[in-house]
Structure 1
Amino acid sequence: MSFSDPKCIDEIGKRKTFIKIGDYDFRALKLAFQMHEIRIKLEPIEYTHPRILSIKVRDGKFFKNTEIYFNEGLNSIIGVRGSGKSALIEIIRWVLGKSPISDDQYKQNIIKYVLGNTGKVQVELVGNNGQKYLIEKSIEDNTLYVYDYTGRLTELRDLGGIFDVYYYGQNDLSYYGQNPQKLVELIDNFIGTELIKLRSKEQAKLKEVKELVKKLQELKNVEGELNELKQEKAKLEERKKFFDQRGVSEKLEQQAVYEREDERFRSITRMVQKIRDNILDIKTNVKDTFDRILGSELTKFRPTWKEKYSKLREIVLLKLDEILNEIEAIQKSIETEEFAQFNREFMKIREELHEIKKSLDAEDIDTNYYLDLERELERIGTKINDLEAKLQEKRQLSEELNKKLDELANIRWEIYKLRKEYSSKINESISVIRISVEHKGDKVSFSRFVEDLFRGTGLRESKRMVLVEQFKDGRSLCNSLINETDRIKSILTQNELSKLKKKLEDNEALFKLLTYQPPDKVVIEYKTSDGKFKNIEKLSIGQRATALLSLVLLESNSPVIIDQPEDDIDNNTIYDAIIKKVLEKKQTQQFIFATHNSNIVVLGDSDNVIICKNEDNSFYPDQGSIDKKEIQKQIVNIMEGGKEAFENRKRIYNIWEA
């Protein structure tokens, strides 16, 4: 809209005023001037913050073919109960890949009800980098597909790093208020990309640790087996001394050598016999083959070809006979000379052993036993070498495991530092909120973990509480149990210790305990009307909700999606807790609220009102600016206190006729 307050002719029409109105209506224009802080600007507003532009559902069940657009600022979703407000919030949550915070099964069932078996959802959005993306997901494969602003399918399968959004479904903020152990998750929601990267590193490290635990468990009995074999070897060596001390050992060793070589020579003889048999087979084959060749008729060849092949036949057969004769001669020579001499020496050893045995009279000398003893010692020696190599491998794996566990602890320390740093920023930004973070401070969760892990072992609660107080995390407890330290023995009886160690023979249980770290404990304190800070655990439900909303609506430019933000907050507090903050921030941050509270819709100056209707189990939305008369009428008809909300706005800005 051009305006003029010129001081000279040249200034006429040189400046423009930019007015935000939702309808071409004089009353909307008048309201814009009344709300000039947020509706009138001398420069055009360039919206750069991340935001959802639209959602489209196709082929669903409750949402059959639905298309809804969102404004850059405050989007209020209204409707009677059962009209689909929460369903719309949950569909957005589902397609963006956010997990339910509470009532998980109920909220997952909403998705199935809305989409049926064939529903597909598309969401168009502007990412953290200012680029447009199209997100697509179907109920059939539950896979997220991300298209960039050119329409090209990217390799992304989640929105980590490209689109941060804060989602709180119905009862989620109340859930945080009633479960102080979960407050750390609330803080994590705000940290964003940096935390996602660390979580990804943490998961990768956990995978590495799990693989190492598996390998170590496969080697867990190495020491025991090695000790048993060493003891068995020592016993066998004692028995072997029996022969050595009587001068028998040397003769038995010689006999053992002769017996081995006798067997080897017989094996050689069998191989030579096999060669002879193979040559005989070749000779037979040569005869048969040449017979077939010479029986052939070649009419175009001179007859001399057969004479030549006949000569070749005789040469081959003659050579084969010569080889066979040579084999037989050499074999006979070896048997009558070398083998005969070998047998004479072997017989001499046997006779000498027989004489020794007679001289020892009652002593039991068994050559086979001695040979078996030697073989067993050799086998055990080989096995010991193998086990010692495995023991070395186990030591290396243990070192590697400790290294990986240290790296895991460092990643978790970085996560703690992020939480602490973000909490400090919150404390600086909000005067009524004070947050502290204690590393590994959640002993309640630690106790529950120990109870679940060692269920069935008979571990008493009193002992469990001592363990939780004495050990800082699962790793320190695990090491103490496995090594049976004095510290653990001072807490548990030997029977209790054995039962807990037995539980850790399971790979999964061992992995869980080794990698368990008590969650960081987050304490949120809220400044009450008396000026004192109180832990939210000691506040009323309404005060808790107000404190948590102060966090949710903290300085940020990422979209905030809340189903019924007004829950547990009285009307007197809603304006300060919600409406004022939204009015201040909605030019640089998108809000999507499903609400029953007309003051949020009207006094929050909703840029886009989405009216949900359920007709014959089908979803029918209507939408438009709060400046439109038809939208105003529906707000009054649908929402309790709708008329009063417009009256409040009328009083605030001294406008709006009845």
Structure 2
Amino acid sequence: MKFSFGLPETHPIRQALAQPNGSQFYRCALQVNPFAYTQENGKAGHGFATEEEYNVAFVAALKEANVQIIAITDHWRARTGAGLRDAAEAAGITVFPGFEAATSLGHHVLCLFNPGTEITRLDLLAGELRGITGPVPCGDNGDGVKTMDELVHKVQGAEWGGICIAAHVTLANGVLWDGGERSSKPWKCENLYASAIPGAITDLLPGKLDIAQNGQTEYHRKRLMALVNAGDVNGPAQVSKVGATSSIKLADLTVEGLRQAFLDPTPRIRLDSETAPDGHMEILGAAWEGGLLDGLRLSFNTNLNVLIGGRGTGKSSILETLRYAFDAPIAGSEARRNHDSLVKAMLRNGGKISVAVQRHTPAVVAYLIERTYAGPAIVRDENGDVLDVKPLDVLRQLPEIYGQHEIAELARDPTHLTTLLRRFLPPRAAAAASQKEALQKELGETRQRLLTLDKEIATSDERLARLPALHLRRAEYEKADLPAKLDAHTRWQREGTLFQIARDRLKPVQEALEALRTASALDHDGLTPSALQDLPNAELLGGLDESLRQVEAVTLRTATELDAALTSSRAQLELVQQTWKPLRTAADEELQVQLRALQAENVDSSDYLQLAKDIYQLQLIEKQRTGLLAERDTVRQRRRNLFTDYQGILGDEQRDLVRTASQVTTKLGNRVRVRVKHLTPRDGLVKLVREAMAANNQGGQKYTVVLDALQNKADISLLGLAEACRRNETANLRQEYGLSAGQAEQLAGIGAEACMKLEELDLPSSTDLELNVAEVGAGEAVWRPLAELSVGQRATAVLRLLLLDSSVPLMIDQPEDDLDNRFIADDIVPIIKDQKQKRQFLFATHNANVPVLGDADLIVGLAYEHDHIRVGTSGALETPAVHQLVEKVLEGGKEAFARRRAKYNF
């Protein structure tokens, strides 16, 4: 699928997507028979009277079945297929001309040659294999004169330049046919790379299946035979028959392309019965503008991409600027520094990178990500509209990108290894993580509220401590009968406070009014008649919108009535107060007379009145304290409930990690073992306790022993530690952590807030890997933990984890820098070959094992010229220019390769 992103064809990203991107799957019918064959061999049931009619219908059937490549293989003759070849090529179908030959034992072999090969020459070659001079006459379908080894050597030699496929091997005249002369030698022909079977591999009879899978000693081959579906197609109606076609991955539609596919059949050949893997996220292409990468355009293959070139040709620059575009995370500090400096040097101010990305689930969708140095990433949709999101928002998972030596750096970080392990957690883990985050927030809120309540209660207690003394003083005044004399005045004082109390009682009502006003405008989106009109039950569902409108009307009416009631209440309150004030003034005049009389009796009435006022205010505080205590009990209960749920999630998460580690170990096939250790590292715990002790002025060096004890204790319970500190259980702390009495007191004195934070603390889990360093295939495993491994072996263990079960692109810069060469060939490359069908890879490398043994789908040769990085050549190994580049850059040239071969006596 091609995407334009609403941009003109001249836009850099459109130019990038138009570039070739290596090998692709082509549906191939490699044993197509022409009209003359069907007439001569009694196969004319197709119903066509003339070759022209036959060819026209045949090509139409090929196009309808999406067959892109055919091979025409009449018995001993190529000339009979000339008309069909011309018709197919005119329709854009690639044709490998050839013929079907037979060995001296009568085994049939398809002999295919490069498109465009002269047909008259092929007829002469067929005659030579038949043992005659000149073309083989019509009607001559006899056996040839050469053994399988001789025939294959001749056809596939440099002079002839063809490729052989053993035809219909389990049927008549096939090398595994039970009805003819049987011999294992033809099957074991070293240079015969491919054989045709009639259906699925699993449909072969047990004996044939054992041979095909190299399970029979007599038929054992050094190289596993490539199996293809290439059954006889004797007319248009047979194009879609089972076993007639295979999908073969090719970069160049040549004999060399077929040879490369047959040499690596697992990733390159898909039988008729096999379905294509599900689509995965892939980077479609990238374009650079400005800086040293200006003008660079790349279209990527959906599977294995490899960047090669000498040092300084931009391999690292491409990976790091791609990471910059995605704003992908960088775990290692050294990797971060390298990334920042390289991106700045390559893009420079104003330099821009554009990256097209495609996702396949739940539907095929593409996005264009653009980033100009040094600004934020911009995301466009398929129409070119700019979205208010980040790359992670639309991709859900970002590509995994690792720079030079970064994997080795990550191998030293157990917590990052846990992050890698989390990729394999069950789907419910994502929901649990969101729930955990919400619970952490609520626990934090309850902590803050409890601290506030405790402070308010403590303040109340401090103020209420005066109340007993005030009551005692009042008792003295009561003996002088002063309260009775001034009772009227104290009651007037109480009346004066009631107006503010009334106003305060109206505040919650005012808040409720504001909430009602907000709620009165309900969201009707999706429920309106226009939104429902296409639904089958639109009339019935219309009642939903009506029910909302009823609530809306009542809410609005209530808000209006409440607003009026509040206005009336405030007016009445004001009226009452204004009416009351003159009465208070008159009462004050009477009071003054009374106070002067008491003063004459040497009684300090003003002191008593202040005392009465203070007692009344403290009595109000006492009531408030009762409410605070009740709220604290409620919040504590709420916190206990939240905390139980929180601990449940933490427990589930830890158990999931352990189970996942076990499952991943199984998937890693006895090469890497994964171990999880909980509550470590404890840097978060140490930091929390250090800050709490420092806040209590407990000294710098004095609590080093305490922190070391927390860090080094084998098994630790955060809940137990918090409870012991809260209850000041110094004896318990001394025993648990090996502390002195003074140190235990320091730890116990961290305070209530720190104790609650301890309960909420979510310490990470660390992951350790163990590598089986025994030779591949060795009987007994030899396990070594990361700490005992070389840098290369550590990186190998981590890379195996990175390569396991993921659908996001993986990009690594020069993995060989940190990997043992033996592990690349024995461990890493086989995984890449298997996983590349389900995942996109991009490697920058100097090591030939990755592109050659990994059978790279796209190899990009980079060069540095005139202060810019450019693409020198690109394609797969069958592309001659790429083949030569790999030989030169990665192998040191043909002569160097030949020298090594001679030195090692290969």
Shift of 1:242: 1.4
Letter in 1 for 2:817: D
CA displacement at 1:455 relative to structure 2: 8.1
User: Would you say 1:168 and 2:422 are equivalent positions?
Assistant: no
Check the 8 A contact 1:177/1:544 in 2, yes or no.
yes
The answer to whether the aligner puts 1:372 opposite 2:594 as a matched pair is no
Query: What secondary structure is seen at the aligned counterpart in 1 of 2:367?
Result: strand
The answer on whether the counterparts of 2:400 and 2:811 sit within 8 Å (CA) in structure 1 is yes
**Cα gap change, 1:92/1:479 in structure 2, threshold over 3 Å: closer, same or farther?**
farther
Of 552, 566, 570, 2:816 maps to: 566
Pair 1:126-2:359 in alignment = yes
Report deviation, 1:187.
0.8
Shift of 1:519: 1.7
8 Å Cα contact 2:292/2:867 also seen in 1: yes
List aligned pairs for 1:43-62, cutoff 5 A.
43=272, 46=276, 48-62=278-292
Choose from 693, 709, 713 the match for 1:466: 709
Query: What's the counterpart of residue 361 of structure 1?
Result: none
1:106 is aligned, of 331, 335, 338, to 338
Scaled by the length of structure 2, the TM-score of the pair is 0.55
Q: How far, CA to CA, are the matches of 1:341 and 1:41 in structure 2?
A: 106
Kindly tell me: are residues 453 and 214 of structure 1, through their superposed partners in 2, closer, same or farther at Cα, counting changes over 3 Å?
same
2: CA distance, partners of 1:499 / 1:432 = 49
Cα contact 1:50–1:130 (8 A) shared by 2: no
Matched, 1:177 2:420: no
Q: Is the 8 A contact 1:97 1:159 kept in 2?
A: no
Q: Deviations over 1:605-631 (max 9, x none)?
A: 111112333445533234322322222
Alignment of 1:78-477 (within 5 A): 78-102=308-332, 103-118=335-350, 119-129=352-362, 131-139=364-372, 141-143=375-377, 145=379, 147=381, 157=390, 158-159=392-393, 162-163=396-397, 165-191=399-425, 194-254=428-488, 256=490, 347=593, 351=597, 354-355=600-601, 357=602, 365-433=603-671, 435=673, 437-438=675-676, 440-443=678-681, 445=683, 449=687, 453=691, 457-458=699-700, 459-468=702-711, 469=713, 472=716, 474=718, 476-477=720-721
Partner of 1:523: 768
Deviation per residue, 1:463-483 (Å, 9 max, x gap): 224335388455554454344
Cα deviation for residue 201 of structure 1 reads 3.5
Residues in 2 aligned to 1:224 and 1:208: alpha-carbon distance in whole angstroms = 24
TM-fit CA distance, 1:75:
0.5
Q: 1:447 to 1:171 in 2, by over 3 A?
A: farther
Q: 2:247 matched to which residue of 1?
A: 18
Structure 2 Cα separation of the partners of residues 117 and 416 of structure 1? 46
Judged with a 3 Å threshold, the aligned counterparts in structure 2 of structure 1 residues 557 and 113 are, in CA distance, closer, same or farther, namely: same
Name the larger-Rg structure.
1
Kept in 2: contact 1:475–1:516 (CA 8 A):
no
Mapped contact 1:258–1:346 kept (Cα < 8 A): no
Q: Post-superposition shift, 1:66?
A: 3.3
Superposition deviation, residue 578 in structure 1: 1.5
Closer/same/farther in 2, CA of residues 65 and 495 from structure 1, 3 Å limit: farther
Question: CA offset at residue 369 of structure 1?
Answer: 0.3
Q: Deviations over 1:68-104 (max 9, x none)?
A: 1111221012233333222222233343443112122
Q: Which residue of structure 2 aligns with residue 64 of structure 1? A: 294
**Preserved contact between residue 566 and residue 595 of structure 1 (Cα < 8 Å):** yes
Q: What is the percentage of aligned positions where both structures have the same residue? A: 21
Could you list the per-position Cα deviations for residues 478-515 of structure 1 after superposition, in whole angstroms to 9, with x for gaps in the alignment? 4543443343476667876786688768x8x7886443
Task: Pick one of 594, 614, 624 that aligns with 2:875.
Answer: 624
Structure 1 residue 115: Cα displacement: 3.6
Shift of 1:446: 5.7
Shift of residue 372, structure 1, vs aligned partner: 0.6
Gaps of 5+ in 1: 265-330, 358-364
Query: Are the structure 2 counterparts of residues 39 and 349 from structure 1 closer, same or farther at C-alpha, using a change threshold of 3 Å?
Result: closer
Residue 520 of structure 1 aligns to which amino acid in structure 2? S
Letter in 2 for 1:77: L
Residue identity in the other structure for 2:256: R
| Contact 1:166-1:189 at 8 Å conserved across structures | no
Give the alignment partner of residue 725 of structure 2, picking from 460, 481, 486.
481
- For residues 592-607 of structure 1, what are the structure 2 equivalents within 5 Å? 592-607=842-857
> Does residue 278 of structure 2 align to residue 35 of structure 1?
no
RMSD value, Cα:
4.3
**Alpha-carbon distance in structure 1 between the residues aligned to 2:587 and 2:756:** 67
Change in Cα spacing, 1:208 to 1:133, as seen in structure 2 (3 Å) is farther
1:639 aligns with 2:890: yes
| Separation of aligned partners in 2, 1:124 and 1:345 | 88
| Structure 1 residues 143 and 413, CA gap change in structure 2 (3 angstroms) | farther
Residue in structure 2 matched with residue 2 of structure 1 by the alignment = 29
**1:546 equivalenced with 2:791 (yes/no):** no
Q: Measured at CA, do residues 511 and 98 of structure 1 come closer, stay the same or move farther in structure 2, by a change above 3 Å?
A: farther
How far apart in 2 are the matches of 1:258 and 1:384?
Answer: 22
Aligned equivalent of 1:291: none
Higher mean displacement: 531-540 or 223-232: 531-540
Larger relative contact order, structure 1 or 2 (CA cutoff 8 Å, min sep 6): 1
**Would you say the 8 A contact 2:282–2:808 is kept in 1?**
no
CA distance in 1, matches of 2:832, 2:900: 16
Whether contact under 8 Å (1:58, 1:66) holds in the other structure is yes
- Contact 1:440 / 1:472 at 8 angstroms: preserved in 2? no
Choose 74-83 or 526-535, whichever is displaced more: 526-535
| Distance in 2 (alpha carbons) for counterparts of 1:568 and 1:246 | 96
Question: SS at the partner of 1:234?
Answer: helix
Aligned-partner residue type, residue 444 of structure 2: K
Letter of the structure 1 residue corresponding to residue 418 of structure 2 = V
How big is each residue's C-alpha offset from its partner over 1:97-129, in whole Å with a ceiling of 9 and x where there is no partner?
431121223323433444434324332223443
Aligned AA (1:89): L
Instruction: Note if contact 1:251-1:349 (Cα within 8 Å) is conserved in structure 2.
Output: no
Give 1:76's match in structure 2, choosing from 306, 316, 328.
306
CA distance in 2, matches of 1:512, 1:111: 41
**Counterpart contact for 2:443–2:643, Cα < 8 Å:** yes
Cα distance change on mapping 1:388 and 1:115 into 2, 3 Å: farther
Q: Quick check: 1:181–1:445 contact (8 Å CA) kept in 2?
A: no
Of Structure 1 and Structure 2, which has the larger fraction of its residues in helix? 1
Alpha-carbon distance in 1 for matches of 2:897, 2:835: 22
Encode CA deviations 1:549-601: one digit per residue, 9 max, x unaligned. 32222244443222222233232221111112222332232221122212212
- Which residue in 1 is equivalent to 2:574? none
Judged with a 3 Å threshold, the aligned counterparts in structure 2 of structure 1 residues 259 and 205 are, in CA distance, closer, same or farther, namely closer
Given that residues 602 and 649 in structure 1 are in contact (C-alpha distance below 8 angstroms), is that contact kept between their aligned partners in structure 2?
no
Determine whether 1:608 maps to 2:608. Answer: no
Q: For the residues of structure 2 that align with 1:225 and 1:151, how far apart are their CA atoms?
A: 62
Cα separation, 2, equivalents of 1:450 and 1:640: 56
Q: Per the alignment, do residues 582 and 616 of structure 1 end up closer, same or farther by CA in structure 2, a change over 3 Å counting?
A: same
Q: Deviations over 1:389-444 (max 9, x none)?
A: 33433443343344334433333333333323322222322332464555634255
Q: Any idea what SS the aligned residue of 1:626 has? A: coil
Distance 1:109 1:65, change over 3 A: same
